[in-house]
Amino acid sequence: MAYKRVLLKLSGEALMGSRQYGIDPLRLSEYANDIKEALAEGIQIAIVIGGGNIFRGVAAASNGMDRVQGDHMGMLATVINGLALQSALENVGVPTRLQSAIKINEVAEPFIRRKAMRHLEKGRVVIFGGGTGNPYFTTDSAAVLRAIEIEADIILKGTRVDGIYTADPEKDASASKYSSISFDDVLKKGLKVMDTTAFTLSQENELPIIVFDMNKKGNLIKILSGEQIGTTVS
């Protein structure tokens, strides 16, 4: 396998499947089986999920809600998604721990770096909920921060598209895909990979990112085996 420890970043929207909002049990089950397959190869997997399928703090703030309140609601949405994924993983026999950056001791462990790393070493999947625990920071920032803290080899950003394109492939049919690109070129070309705070943190810590289509079965295990899937930013 090409990597020993990875951080998988999933968007909240990915959990919707074909629905307009909420969580699609079928999509959750597909993800759980893909993660189980990867875990069976001895790879240590940590996960950060967004909350956009349930609530978006930024969108709420644009409609007049207090931004800090909105972001706290978004953090709770990521914990809900974390609980759903934890349940799906345990249904297929994968030992899983949910750690939260905000204290919800009845449903999740508090985030403790050493404990998280110990869980990973013991073959458990660790899901990090609650973002960074701070308003004004996205789950992209949380993903990069946690990946650095647990000394992950790479961030795998699972999306609905199969990589980074010259333009939005859903809007521009002539857009072409990059197989690999440097951090500097992403910034120069103004390509959207992650929000700027998260992306800069990744660049400063020389933590590579692979953007790929998580909805295509087998893609996760192919990447972990070293196949060129999606777009690598390094």
Quick: pLDDT tens for 37-69: 999 999 999 999 999 999 988 888 888 999 999
- Residue 141: is its pLDDT beyond 90? yes
CA distance 104 to 181: 40
Helix (H, G, I), strand (E, B) or coil at 86: helix
Mean pLDDT of the chain: 95
Which pair of tokens denotes residue 149? 């803290």
Q: Where are the domains of the chain?
A: 5-233
pLDDT at position 116 is: 98
DSSP for 101-160, written as a single string: SS--TTTSEEP-HHHHHHHHHTT-EEEEESTTSSTT--HHHHHHHHHHHTT-SEEEEEES
pLDDT tens-digit profile of 168-203? 887 888 999 999 999 999 999 999 899 999 999 999
Band the pLDDT of 160: cuts 50, 70, 90. confident
Within 8 A by CB and 6+ apart from 25, the residues are: 88
CA distances to 49, 55, 130, 131, 135 from 139, in Å: 7, 13, 8, 5, 10
pTM exceeds cut of 0.85:
yes
CA distance 93 to 81: 19
pLDDT at position 183 is: 96
Within 8 A by CB and 6+ apart from 133, the residues are: 75, 101, 102, 111
CATH of 5-233, one of 3.80.30.20, 3.40.50.300, 3.40.1160.10, 2.60.120.700: 3.40.1160.10
